[in-house]
Amino acid sequence: MVDDERQILELLELSLSQHGFTVTPAGSGPEALKLLRSGHFDLVVLDVLMSPWDGFETARQLRLVSGCPPIVFLSGVTGAAQQGLGLTLAAAYLTKPFRPSQLVEVIRNVLG
């Protein structure tokens, strides 16, 4: 889970943990890249509007790592997350605000 807003990370980590997912939070794109290089992950949930890298740049950097898992974009900006699909950077997207159950459904769909 990659988001530069700590409260969002904490909320989603709690929600997803209650649904049986193990969540590794990252507060930035560079932190997510470091984590991906050092471990195995089944999926990346990635906010679009972040700094220092936005979600698109973060996705590009993550995709350079061998075995990069599918990416799900989250965005509060209408159309921004869908743009990631058009760039083939993401497997799915979800527009904020959303219910945690919607995110769980998207994750389960992507993971099959």
The Cα-based distances of 80 to 31, 33, 54, 87, 91 in angstroms read 22, 21, 11, 11, 14
Residue 74 corresponds to which amino acid? L
What is the mean pLDDT of the segment spanning 17-44?
Answer: 96
Spatial neighbors of 42 by CB under 8 A, at least 6 apart, are 69, 111
State the pLDDT at residue 79. 67
Q: Residue 55: give its domain's CATH number.
A: 3.40.50.2300
The encoded tokens of residue 38 equal 């050092």
Average pLDDT, the chain: 90
Q: How many domains does the chain have?
A: 1
Q: 28 pLDDT band (50/70/90 cuts)?
A: very high
pLDDT tens profile 3-22: 999 999 999 999 999 999 99
Does 110 fall in a domain? no
Does 14 fall in a domain? yes
Q: 93 pLDDT band (50/70/90 cuts)?
A: confident
Q: Which domain holds residue 33?
A: 6-98
Spatial neighbors of 72 by CB under 8 A, at least 6 apart, are 43, 44, 45, 46, 90, 91, 92, 93, 94, 103, 106, 107, 110
